[in-house]
Amino acid sequence: MFARLTALVGSSSSLSFELGEAKEGCWGIWTHHHGTWRADQSPVSVFRTASTSKLDAKLAAARNGIKRLRMLRHPDILAFKDTAEAEEKGETVLYLVTERMTLLPVFLEGADAAEREAWVSLGLQRVLSALSFLNRDCSLMHGRVCMDSIAVTEQGDWKLAALELVTEAGGGPDPLQAPLRAASWLTPQAHQPGELAKGDWEAVWQSPPHAVD
């Protein structure tokens, strides 16, 4: 399933990256760290989540996010580089490695009003392009589009991220276990469409993907 799966990591040298300092801002279940790609010493972002229970719902959501990011290659979606799974001090730990990014709210903190207006105008076009790819080309729902699910690269490009809830239109083969339903708690209620907030899953599954996003 993963590009690189490390079942038991006894040393950080087993990983394809060096884990750096924790950074402000991340989405949902992850902590965000700056990191270095060992192969060429290039900067990357490393996301980490952990649980003492292998059945923890957040691990299932994280694995879905990793799978989707690995498969959904698009210039306006955050670029996947690698992943690893480890057992560390009694916890199951998942790592996700991507191109270096900053979360949108953190990025905008340092911009003045004029800069912010320019960035937002250009950035929204990139986010809409990514959503069009998901909704129309792939028949997928993102499920949690908000400022905290948008990454900004070192080049200033806005990219859609946080794919943990991505689900097939109609709920897929098992709607009861669909990520959007099983981990709906990841989406802040303020960003949930009415049907999702009310738990009207029949209406959600019957709606086109863009109705949720």
Backbone phi, psi, residue 126, to 5°? -70, -40
Distance CA(142)–CA(125), nearest Å, equals: 17
Between the CA of residue 114 and those of 46, 77, 108, 150, what are the distances in Å? 31, 26, 11, 20
pLDDT of residue 154: 95
What domain count does the chain have? 2
Report the distance separating Cα 142 and Cα 135, nearest Å: 8
Q: Which residues of 120-142 are buried (b: 16+ CB within 10 A; e: fewer)?
A: eeebeebbebbbebbbeebebbb
Domain boundary among 68, 99, 130: 99
Residues 67 and 20 in one domain: yes
2 assigned to some structural domain: no
DSSP H/E element including 168: strand 167-168
Q: Of the candidates 99, 114, 148, which is a domain's last residue?
A: 99
Contact present, 162 and 179 (Cβ < 8 Å): no
pLDDT at 13: 55
124 found inside a domain: yes
Please tell me the pTM assigned to this model: 0.89
User: Which candidate, 171, 174, 173, places its Cα nearest to that of 196?
Assistant: 171
Residue 106 belongs to a domain with what CATH number? Answer: 1.10.510.10
At 7 the pLDDT is 36
CA-to-CA separations, 206 to 170, 200, 209, in angstroms, rounded: 6, 10, 9
Q: Are residues 18 and 95 in the same domain?
A: yes
Query: Which of 195, 87, 89, 88 has its CA nearest to residue 143?
Result: 195
- Provide block-wise average pLDDT over 10 residues at a time, the chain (213 residues): 38 76 83 94 96 94 97 98 93 97 90 84 94 98 93 96 96 94 87 84 93 89
Q: Show the domain range for 33.
A: 12-99
What radius of gyration, in Å, describes the C-alpha atoms of the chain? 17
